[in-house]
């Protein structure tokens, strides 16, 4: 028992060191990505036996397949593989999750009863969706934990609550300029016209909220299902964090991404809020968080790192096998866009994150003018639908690691929603193609 306790404590310290190394890397003084990956993977190895069996098997399969694909890409196709850096996939997301965990040390997060008026029923589901969606457009995945942990204080999260959290965040990919999906898309097609994306994407996101509310009201008895209260008191902490993120993003650290800012800002705010009680009190709380809460994140961290290795292996193998000369479509119009959307969304159903399909598709297309904007919307809409339903998407991996829900159960519960959103997205793609092509 003592050996297990010491092992978990050491893993917690390594996770904390990984977070600190990542923050140091943001300064640009020294590259730390490789060191961060080694620290987190070592912590996962120490905690491997403690990971729930389902998550352990899933992570093990992802690791094995990802590593095998890298070997095949190198041996069969002669691809150049940077072996020392092969563990860096999704490290930035994993460290963000670690940073977000420090929310529990801020202010009154430890209160047992959630503040604000209790809201239930379809109104509560809609409020949960709205809160996660609009705060999530800025705070990304951290909003799910802010809202989800608040709801979980009354009772374990129910399926309608989990689905509202899932869809509220994933639909933000349709239009948010601060979302990870938008950062990926802009990197792939720099000439995208964001105004056209927002014109189509925002109304589609609002339809997602309406569809979620109507569907969950039909499928479940929502009478005793708690929603997220949108009272000023309940919004104070997440709204304040969102405002701080914006200050850093636009004025203090404009070169950093939203994910990077969240990674260092939340632990920094937690540290400052505790220092009011004295240095000894602050150190005691951070130590307790390091040796208990951080090792408890083993499920989330292991799944994200394993999925990152799979992504690297698959993208490397596809790039090596396809070569540089082949082009998928001579022209990227409405029908090509629709086929691409369906392909990326279906790939999410079998466990591939949409970023894989989007990256692979971009690598085999030669896009010009308005085709870039059409491709961008295809990528964003497939991301929004695919991450909601994909068992290995970031949101579902997080819900699985944080609240114990099965990723495949979330997939089954989201299939009707994904079908309806796919039809709406295909209609939106047709409309946008008429506008920009």
3-state helix, strand, coil in the chain (%, to 5): 75, 0, 25
Cα(297)–Cα(235) distance, integer angstroms = 25
Cα(85)–Cα(41) distance, integer angstroms = 12
Instruction: Return the DSSP state at 251.
Output: I
Cα(249)–Cα(265) distance, integer angstroms = 11
Cα(299)–Cα(289) distance, integer angstroms = 17
CA separation (Å) from 143 to 108, 183, 250, 385? 17, 18, 20, 19
Cα(26)–Cα(33) distance, integer angstroms = 10
Q: Is 274 left (phi over 0), alpha (psi -120 to 50) or beta?
A: alpha
pLDDT of residue 108: 47
Q: How confident is the prediction along the chain (437 residues), in pLDDT tens digits per residue? A: 445 589 999 999 999 999 999 999 999 999 999 999 999 999 999 999 998 787 788 789 889 999 999 999 999 999 999 999 999 988 988 898 899 888 888 764 444 444 456 788 999 999 999 999 998 887 788 889 889 998 998 889 999 999 999 999 999 999 988 787 887 788 788 889 999 999 999 999 999 999 999 999 999 999 989 999 777 776 777 778 888 988 998 899 999 887 788 899 989 999 999 999 999 999 999 999 999 989 988 988 998 898 889 878 887 887 788 776 656 888 999 999 999 999 999 998 987 778 778 877 887 788 988 999 999 999 999 999 999 999 878 899 889 878 888 888 999 999 999 999 999 999 999 999 999 98
Cα(359)–Cα(370) distance, integer angstroms = 19
Residue with tokens 């009707």: 416
DSSP string for 213-235: HHHHHHHS--TT-EE---SHHHH
CA separation (Å) from 163 to 83, 126, 223, 230, 365? 38, 11, 16, 18, 34
Residue 120, H or E segment: strand 119-120
Cα(133)–Cα(169) distance, integer angstroms = 5
pLDDT of residue 339: 97
Max distance between CA atoms of the chain, in angstroms, equals 66
Helix residue ranges, H only, 220-297? 232-247, 258-275, 279-288
Q: Count of alpha carbons within 13 Å of 19, Cβ hemisphere only?
A: 26
Burial class of 198 by CB neighbour count within 10 A (0 to 12, 13 to 18, 19+): middle
Q: Count of alpha carbons within 13 Å of 134, Cβ hemisphere only?
A: 12
Cα(233)–Cα(194) distance, integer angstroms = 34
Task: Report the candidate in 174, 200, 193, 197 with the shortest Cα–Cα distance to residue 370.
Answer: 193
pTM: 0.78
| Residue 163 structure tokens | 């689905």
């Amino acid at each position: 028992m003592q050996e297990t306790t010491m092992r978990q404590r050491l893993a917690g310290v390594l996770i904390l060191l990984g977070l600190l190394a990542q923050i140091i890397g943001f300064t640009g003084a020294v590259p730390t990505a490789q060191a961060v990956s080694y620290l987190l993977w070592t912590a996962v190895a120490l905690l491997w036996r403690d990971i729930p069996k389902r998550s352990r098997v899933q992570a093990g399969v992802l690791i094995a397949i990802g590593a095998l694909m890298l070997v095949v890409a190198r041996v069969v196709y002669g691809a150049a593989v940077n072996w020392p850096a092969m563990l860096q996939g999704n490290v930035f997301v994993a460290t963000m999750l670690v940073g977000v965990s420090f929310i529990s040390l801020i202010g009154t997060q430890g209160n047992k009863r959630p503040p604000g008026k209790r809201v239930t029923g379809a109104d509560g589901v809609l409020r949960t969706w709205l809160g996660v969606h609009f705060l999530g457009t800025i705070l990304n995945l951290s909003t799910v934990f802010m809202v989800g942990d608040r709801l979980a204080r009354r009772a374990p999260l129910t399926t309608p609550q989990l689905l509202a959290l899932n869809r509220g965040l994933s639909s933000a990919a349709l239009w948010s300029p601060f979302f990870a999906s938008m950062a990926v898309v802009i990197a792939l097609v720099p000439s995208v016209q964001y105004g056209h994306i927002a014109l189509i994407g925002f109304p589609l996101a609002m339809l997602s909220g309406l569809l979620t509310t109507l569907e969950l009201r039909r499928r479940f008895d929502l009478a005793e299902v708690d929603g997220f209260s949108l009272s000023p008191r309940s919004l104070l902490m997440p709204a304040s964090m969102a405002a701080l993120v914006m200050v850093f993003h636009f004025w203090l650290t404009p070169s950093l991404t939203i994910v990077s800012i969240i990674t260092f800002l939340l632990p920094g705010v937690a540290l400052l809020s505790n220092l009011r009680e004295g240095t000894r009190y602050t150190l005691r709380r951070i130590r307790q968080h390091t040796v208990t809460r951080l090792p408890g994140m083993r499920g989330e961290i292991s799944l994200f790192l394993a999925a990152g290795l799979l992504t690297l292996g698959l993208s490397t193998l596809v790039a090596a096998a396809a070569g540089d000369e082949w082009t998928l479509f001579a022209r990227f119009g409405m029908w090509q866009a629709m086929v691409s959307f369906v392909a990326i969304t279906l790939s999410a159903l079998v466990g591939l994150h949409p970023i894989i399909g989007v990256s692979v598709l971009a690598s085999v297309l030669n896009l010009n003018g308005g085709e870039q904007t059409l491709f961008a919307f295809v990528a964003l809409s497939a991301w929004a639908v695919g991450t909601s339903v994909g068992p290995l998407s970031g949101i579902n991996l997080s819900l699985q690691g944080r609240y114990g829900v099965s990723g495949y159960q979330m997939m089954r519960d989201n299939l009707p929603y994904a079908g309806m959103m796919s039809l709406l997205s295909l209609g939106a793609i047709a409309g946008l193609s008429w506008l920009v092509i």
